[in-house]
Structure 1
Amino acid sequence: MKRSSICLLVGALLVGAVGCGGDDRDYAVPKKLCGTKVDPDVLAPLLPAGEEVHQRVNSRDLGATCDVSVTGEGGKGGSSVMYIKRDAVPEGDDPLKVMRDMLIRSGNPKRVDIGDDARIADSAGLVTLSCPPKGKDTTLALEVDLFTSTPKDVSERRKALERFLRSYLPTAAKAQGCRS
């Protein structure tokens, strides 16, 4: 009788943990992403379970790219889960027009009130912000692509992506050299 009670208790605890949104994340959510500070609480909903998070940053004259991957059980896998691109776009070019097809492929892009203009899709987001570094009229384009499976409640991921972009934009703009 005791054994079955223990099994029921353990089973109830496991069901409760799964039902409360527990994850199998064995790594600390980064406090820096692509070389700039990020709020781990805002980033966490966009990262999957796994053992270790890795970032590969590539700085360029016009900005930077960053590939974020998470290794699976036993350090295997290392699949890309997020790609961030930060670019200085010359005056006259519209990043939202240039990236229109990508946003459509990413699923149902909608305008959101972030920066000067922004779109959030099911698996990507793009924000633009006036950024006249060193006296040049340029626009900062901040793109985030997610490569995790589309969840059943995609609206929650869209909200998480919007919160992330809203929080991350000021540090990305500063890293780009934008004046406020």
Structure 2
Amino acid sequence: MTGNLRASAVRLSLAVLLLAGVSACGGAEEYTVPSKACDRDVSKDELGALLPSGAELRDKPWVSDNSFSCEIYVDGLMQFAFTEHSGQRKFDVSAYAKSGRLGGFDQLRASDVSDNAVVSHTRSVVMAPCPKAGRNYILDLELPNTDGDHSNDIERFVRSYLPTGLAAMGC
């Protein structure tokens, strides 16, 4: 009787180990980085570099006459957001950012994406001419729930996205 009990315990232990191994290999499903964000073309590689891993990705657009916003959520938490404006008067983005009139920046520096642009660890604001729609175009991008320095990845995304944003805003 003791031999049967011991053999049953060994089989049960093996079954549990096998199931645990299968479960560990299965893992959670990862979302696929899209080539569009809020129906705007984006570089999958550049966007993917700015997003954390997760199981679910969704985007939420918001549109008004001269503005467009896109928020991207990973597993229910907003991780990436950008807002575009057209028809803006020209101002010195760096001076406004340093004064606090554009909100908070962490380790602000000038960006070479445009001659009127700044970038920080988690945010960028770019102003570019918008002659067709009149005045100027502004792209304000933020990674609201992240730590660390993402400024180089942000600049790569902005560089790749800027022609799409300008065209979409009628510039």
The answer as to whether partners of 1:25 and 1:49 remain within 8 angstroms in 2 is: no
- Whether 1:29 and 2:36 are equivalent positions in the alignment is no
Work out which of the two has the higher radius of gyration on C-alpha atoms and give 1 or 2. Answer: 2
Runs of 4+ off more than 2 Å = 89-100, 102-106
Output the amino acid matched with 2:52: P
Match of 2:113 in 1: 114
Instruction: State whether residues 130 and 139 of structure 1, in contact with CA within 8 Å, keep that contact through their aligned partners in structure 2.
Output: yes
Instruction: Work out whether residues 31 and 40 of structure 1, in 8 Å CA contact, stay in contact via their aligned partners in 2.
Output: yes
| Residue equivalent to 1:128 | 127
Per the alignment, residue 144 of structure 2 pairs with 147
**Structure 2 residue aligned with 1:169:** 162
How much has 1:92 moved relative to structure 2?
4.5
- Whether the 8 Å CA contact 1:25–1:48 is kept in 2: the answer is no
Q: In structure 1, which of residues 46, 64, 67 is the aligned counterpart of residue 68 of structure 2?
A: 64
* Deviation for aligned residue 1:97: 4.6
Report if aligned partners of 2:79, 2:146 keep a CA contact under 8 Å in 1: no
Equivalents in 2 of 1:67, 1:49: separation in Å?
Answer: 16
Deviation at 1:141, TM superposition (A): 0.4
* Structure 1 unpaired stretches of 5+: 1-9, 11-23, 72-77
Normalised by the size of structure 2, how large is the TM-score? 0.75
Match of 2:49, SS state, is: helix
Map of 1:79 onto structure 2? 77
Q: TM-score, structure 1 length as denominator?
A: 0.72
Deviation at 1:149, TM superposition (A): 2.5
Provide the aligned length of Structure 1 versus Structure 2. 146
Q: Distance in 1 between matches of 2:132 and 2:48?
A: 31
Distance 1:127 1:40, change over 3 A: same
Pairwise CA RMSD of aligned residues? 2.4
Unaligned runs of 5+ in 2: 1-20, 22-27
Secondary structure of the residue aligned to 2:161 is helix
Which deviations, in whole Å up to 9, do the C-alpha atoms of 1:72-128 show, x marking residues without a partner? Answer: xxxxxx011111100014334555555542667321111011134111111100111
